[in-house]
Structure 1
Amino acid sequence: MARADSGSSDTPEREIRLVKNPDGQWTARDLRVGVTAQGKSRDVALDNLDAVIEAVEGDGGRSPTDEEIRDLGADPEVAQSQSDELPDVLQ
């Protein structure tokens, strides 16, 4: 288990757990934020974890383009017009 400080005096310390999986992949988990990422190496797993944390806490991430939605096999018009309510099975 590694402990790392984010470097900013107003943010709490980050506690990160690194685990080498049986398949050779690495898993990195930020215990404060409660998110996990994987990678082929420790460095990649940590980079992926930073990207997930940025998406969750900051301005990371973006809405998918119509082309990306089509690549997933969905119609962008239908996908973007659906309500934000959870389906009954998830409520």
Structure 2
Amino acid sequence: MAKTDSVLLIRRKVKIMNELGLHARPAAEFVRAAQAFRSEIWILKREGRFSAGSIIEVLMANLNCGDSAMIEAQGPDAEKAVARLVGLVRKFAEEDVP
């Protein structure tokens, strides 16, 4: 946790455990959740930084089963945003694969 210009920056590591990764349906749910917050939210991987509010960028992050990534948010509701998105990633891991 760091403070930058009086705006909180929060980062939490997540591991993708859903057998199919963060595919289209959960990615869409993830993006809708991210868009509900005022903070800027990013997915960080070795390959780059991807906007959590863009379905195209979330899919481009190519989050497969076993991958680790950071969810980063900066803004007035950063803590809530990161907690919500980390919770969603964990929920996706518990879902049955069709």
TM-score computed with the length of structure 1 as normaliser = 0.29
Determine which structure has greater relative contact order: mean sequence separation of CA pairs < 8 Å that are 6+ residues apart, divided by chain length. Answer: 2
Bigger Rg, structure 1 or 2:
1
